[in-house]
Amino acid sequence: MRKILLLGAALLCAVSAFPKPRTFNPVAEDVAALAADRGTSQLGSMTVADVEKALARLSVAMQQEAWIHGSAMSSLALPGLGQFLNRDPLGGSLYLVGSAAVAAGTLVGAYFLLPPNLRVMNWFTEPIASLENDFEANSVGEYLPSLGIMAVGAVVDAVLRCVSAAGAARLAERRVLDGTVSFEPMLITSGKGMGFGVKFKRKP
């Protein structure tokens, strides 16, 4: 019963941990700003300089969006990584330690809830055939407590990753808005043509 309650609590946390609606969407805001700047003028009336200016502006906005999204994905892959990328070592360390604690707690808990015959054996020196016999000697029901702990650990780990990713995205937005992470357009060429690449710089 306790495991079911823990699983329910973890699922509730997971639902509440989904990222909140974005408060800053650089690409959408820049497209709207460009449209407002052009007003009712015809698209064909744009000069080469106007096109270059618009592309440069959109290039920066796309880099900002990529940074925010990449920060979130970094923390989703490794809790705390997005925080480290955005100069929040304390937050990154807390998420990283929390992730390691969840993994260690899950493994230890799952091990001690295994059937007794599996806890007393030496897994490193026991022949594979003996290991198979020892595992087959137990019923599926005897493995349920250990599997339950592993399931709870997986849910808690998923919740932690979602919370870390959402926090990293919000932190990246603030870093972009306050100029801590800034971007500049960079015209690049390739075998297929020419376009705007990505180049960012952070304040010292």
pLDDT digits (tens, 9 = 90+) for 73-84: 999 999 999 999
Q: Tens of pLDDT along 41-57?
A: 655 566 656 666 777 77
Q: Tens of pLDDT along 131-166?
A: 788 788 888 888 888 989 999 999 999 999 999 999
What mean pLDDT is predicted for residues 166-173?
93
pLDDT, position 203: 46
| pTM, to two decimals | 0.71
Higher-confidence position of 3 and 95: 95
Phi-psi region of 108 (alpha: psi -120 to 50; beta: other; left: phi over 0): alpha
Q: Tokens representing 187?
A: 């015209």
Is pLDDT above 50 for 195? Answer: no
